[in-house]
Amino acid sequence: MRHDEKLSPAGQLWAVRLHWANVVGGVNCRGPHDPDDNRSGLNVSYYVGDDAHRVAANRRRILQSMGAQDWPVVTAGQVHGSHVVTVHEDMQPGFDPSAAGMRSPQTDGLVTQQPHVVLNLMFADCVPILLYCAEPLTVGVLHAGWRGTAARIAEKGVGAMCALGAKPTAIHAVIGPAICGKCYEVGPEVLEALSLLPGPGKALLELPRNHVSLAEANRQLLLHCELPEEAIHTSQLCTRCGDVPMFSYRAAGGGTGLHGAFIALARDPH
């Protein structure tokens, strides 16, 4: 199964596109942009100081490409935590309306079994994790920066899928584009937090001192949760040094646009 698309320099939307049965989505790329404007390109966030009309047009293009332009969208007030919310048919009363859709506050992971509901989280260097189980048909998306990784959001996301009837050995994962280990130099507090995770070896070793691969740390966590190795696909695209333009907080040196991870069940309920 192939998740990385070879992108031409202009006009493409996706850095990673999902090819799971009955699922639409992926992680969008930054696309053509003005290198002097940290928010230009396919920014999907209304909260980074970008023009709201431009954000709306970007989001519409992406949702149209999924065939999901008329489906409700659930986003999250991401706080680098490990809280994962299950989205039910009636949309929880705890959700707030926002320009991008219904927003679950203080949440870094969303899972659902509802068809035709788009789950959407936003990123600039942090790791997007997309989850899928065919039976029962369940999807999820997680936001894993170093704090979320250390708080084991990968494990909590798998747990939320399992609470809906999925088995870990039947869950597939895509670890999307994120800052690579070579580009991600960190302080001792990060190294210490990540060294407590299961199987940290490859995430911390084979890299220059004080560097860490958050993608590998999360892959190890998913393996620890008993996902089969062959069911985990890790994108090799770095948001900072990769050859497909993505938003990168580190590259921008601060305020930047965000790309999105989008996932929805496309199966008609009837």
Footprint of Zn ion (CB under 5 A): 180, 183, 238, 240-241
> What is residue 170's DSSP assignment?
G
Measured from the CB of residue 50, what is the shortest distance to Zn ion in angstroms?
24
Measured from the CB of residue 238, what is the shortest distance to Zn ion in angstroms?
3
Closer residue to Zn ion in complex, CB, 59/211: 211
**Cα–Cα distance between 73 and 91 in angstroms, integer?**
10
Measured from the CB of residue 227, what is the shortest distance to Zn ion in angstroms?
25
Contact of 138 with 172, CB cutoff 8 Å: no
At 254 the three-state DSSP class reads: coil
**Cα–Cα distance between 206 and 265 in angstroms, integer?**
38
Closer residue to Zn ion in complex, CB, 137/251: 251
Measured from the CB of residue 145, what is the shortest distance to Zn ion in angstroms?
16
Measured from the CB of residue 208, what is the shortest distance to Zn ion in angstroms?
12
**Cα–Cα distance between 80 and 146 in angstroms, integer?**
8
**Cα–Cα distance between 95 and 177 in angstroms, integer?**
28
Closer residue to Zn ion in complex, CB, 184/262: 184
Contact of 46 with 114, CB cutoff 8 Å: no
Closer residue to Zn ion in complex, CB, 90/243: 243
Q: What is the CA radius of gyration of the chain?
A: 17
Measured from the CB of residue 73, what is the shortest distance to Zn ion in angstroms?
30
Measured from the CB of residue 183, what is the shortest distance to Zn ion in angstroms?
3
**Cα–Cα distance between 207 and 215 in angstroms, integer?**
13
Closer residue to Zn ion in complex, CB, 24/180: 180
Closer residue to Zn ion in complex, CB, 60/182: 182
**Structure tokens of 38?**
């940290």
Q: Nearest 5°: phi and psi at 250? A: -70, -40
Contact of 147 with 114, CB cutoff 8 Å: no
Contact of 140 with 198, CB cutoff 8 Å: no
Closer residue to Zn ion in complex, CB, 84/183: 183
